[in-house]
């Protein structure tokens, strides 16, 4: 007998690592029909196993004495799932072992059942001591070396370790109050309009009263400071959380038709009328989009500030500096002299943050006086939210002048 939660988590592991699927999309499909308790358990197993896969593979290879890459995909997924339960949860060892073995048997790999059983029993005996003995660093915390090195550049060795640990755990759950009263039991935060909650109430979202959005993300939207009557360009606007924050006559640009459709639907849900959604490439805007008072460039990025929310992102993240610079310059060209541009990215990589701003040649308008708690540790003219310091997703924000 295999529990529905373990079956769902196993399917997510197969799809993420064998079919290059996104973890959140794979999970939505795999967890369909699960009750709330089973769904929560399945998500913990699936996301935890994806997140910790580098460390899990090290343990499997050390104790199982066979390269993970040479295993059949169902065996690989079952071992990773079992290893995660044995190493990082309080799951009864016999349940973790027996159900993982059964997953291999159900995959019609009877010849691999004895091997899977033997490796899992070795993991049951040895994975906790092995994990405890690992030196602090990217192997123990399960990050690619290049991400660890990037964090060290920004925060030093100790700060990088604290950051990696923080993003291996769930961060706070925060919503933006769109209208009406805050949800019952919600806690006000240091970002106006942002409320900390135990869970997101889907009914209130559907009614357009709240919107799930981290404090870091909301901060980026607030830094725009646009007012009624002003013309605002919002580049790379989907899914629309920040778009919904902006006052004024907003033109929201999104290159992907499916994401543009999602943007329109989300703005409707939020009751944000009057936004003109344009499907266009942000680096090659239509000629008529010109003369704006403000622009928001919430650019695509490596996402190194949201690794807690997206467990598979650390294994697929890519810096996008050239695209970011092209988008920033494109937006600046469409803002009138004296107008402002807010550049934000959900990453902590300096090459995608301050280096892009410096390369743009735009004049920096300091933000630290307005938001001192979020001042960048080495460039205080910018903002940088840090998961291990602020408890929210990591966002870099700069406000710039077009002259």
0.85 surpassed by pTM: yes
Tell me which residue of 332, 335, 334, 357 sits closest to 345, measured CA to CA. Answer: 357
Buried b (16+ CB within 10 A) or exposed e, 250-285: bbbbbbeeebbeebbebbebbebeebebbeeebeeb
- What are the percentages of helix, strand and coil residues in the chain, rounded to 5? 50, 15, 35
Nearest to 77 by CA among 16, 168, 2: 16
CA distance 262 to 328: 23
- CB proximity list for 5: less than 8 A, separation 6 or greater: 34, 38, 39, 41, 42, 45
Q: Is 223 a catalytic residue?
A: no
Three-state DSSP state, 292: strand
If DSSP codes are grouped into helix, strand and coil, which group holds residue 235? Answer: strand
The answer for residues whose C-beta is within 8 angstroms of residue 388's C-beta and 6 or more apart is 159, 162, 163, 165, 166, 167
Strands (E), 302-395: 335-345, 363-365, 383-384
Residue corresponding to tokens 């001192």: 372
- The active-site residue, picked from 236, 301, 346, 353, is 346
Beta bridge partners of 383: 375, 397
pLDDT of residue 403: 80
Bridge partners of residue 250, in order along the sequence? 232
Q: Which of 224, 220, 223, 227 lies closest to 241, judged by CA?
A: 220
| Phi, then psi, of 274 in degrees rounded to 5 | 85, 5
Q: What is the pLDDT of residue 402?
A: 85
**Where exactly does CATH 3.40.50.150 map onto the chain?**
214-401
Give me the residues of the chain with pLDDT under 70, please: none
Which residues in the chain are classed under CATH 1.10.940.10?
Answer: 4-134
**What is the dihedral angle through the alpha carbons of 297, 272, 254, 321, rounded to the nearest 10 degrees?**
20
What's the CA gap between 166 and 21, in Å, rounded?
Answer: 25
At residue 141, the pLDDT reads 98
Among candidate residues 374, 386, 390, 331, the one with its CA nearest the CA of residue 356: 331
Fold classified for 214-401: Rossmann fold (3.40.50)
pLDDT in tens, 76-106: 999 999 999 999 999 999 999 999 999 999 9
Nearest by Cα to 100 from 124, 75, 123? 75
Q: What kind of architecture, by CATH, is found in domain 4-134? A: Orthogonal Bundle (1.10)
Distance CA 45, CA 52 (A): 10
């Amino acid at each position: 007998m295999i529990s529905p939660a373990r079956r769902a988590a196993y399917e997510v592991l197969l799809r993420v690592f064998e079919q290059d699927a996104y973890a959140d999309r794979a999970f939505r499909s795999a967890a369909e029909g699960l009750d709330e308790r089973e769904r929560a358990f399945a998500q913990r197993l699936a996301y935890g196993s994806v997140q910790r896969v580098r460390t899990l593979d090290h343990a499997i290879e050390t104790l199982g004495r066979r390269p993970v890459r040479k295993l059949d995909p169902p065996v690989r997924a079952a071992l990773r799932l079992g290893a995660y339960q044995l190493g990082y949860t309080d799951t009864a060892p016999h349940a973790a072992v027996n159900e993982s073995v059964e997953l291999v048997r159900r995959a019609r790999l009877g010849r691999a059942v004895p091997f899977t059983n033997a490796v899992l029993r070795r993991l049951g005996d040895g994975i906790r001591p092995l994990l405890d003995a690992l030196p602090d660093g990217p192997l123990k915390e399960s990050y690619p070396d290049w991400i660890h090195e990037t964090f060290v550049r920004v925060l030093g060795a100790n700060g990088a370790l604290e950051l990696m640990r923080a993003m291996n755990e769930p961060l706070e759950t925060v919503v933006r109050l769109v209208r009406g009263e805050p949800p019952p039991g919600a806690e006000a935060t240091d970002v106006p309009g942002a409320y900390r909650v135990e869970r997101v109430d889907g009914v209130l979202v559907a009614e357009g009263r709240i919107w799930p959005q981290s404090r870091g993300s909301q901060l980026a939207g607030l830094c725009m400071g646009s007012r009624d009557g002003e013309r605002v360009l919002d580049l790379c606007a989907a899914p629309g959380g920040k778009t919904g924050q902006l006052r004024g006559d907003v033109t929201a640009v999104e290159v992907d038709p499916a994401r543009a459709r999602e943007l329109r639907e989300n703005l409707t849900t939020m009751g944000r009328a009057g936004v003109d959604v344009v499907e266009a490439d942000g680096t090659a805007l239509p000629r008529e989009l010109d003369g704006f008072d403000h622009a928001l460039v919430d650019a695509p990025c490596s996402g190194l500030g949201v690794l807690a929310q997206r467990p598979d992102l650390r294994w697929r993240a890519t810096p996008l500096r050239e695209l970011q610079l092209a988008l920033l310059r494109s937006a600046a060209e469409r803002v009138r002299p004296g107008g402002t541009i807010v550049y934000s990215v959900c990453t902590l990589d300096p090459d995608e943050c301050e280096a892009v701003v410096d390369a743009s040649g735009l004049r920096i308008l300091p933000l630290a006086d307005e938001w001192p708690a979020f001042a960048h540790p080495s460039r205080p003219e910018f903002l940088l939210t840090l998961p291990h310091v602020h408890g929210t997703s990591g966002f870099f924000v700069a406000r710039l002048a077009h002259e």
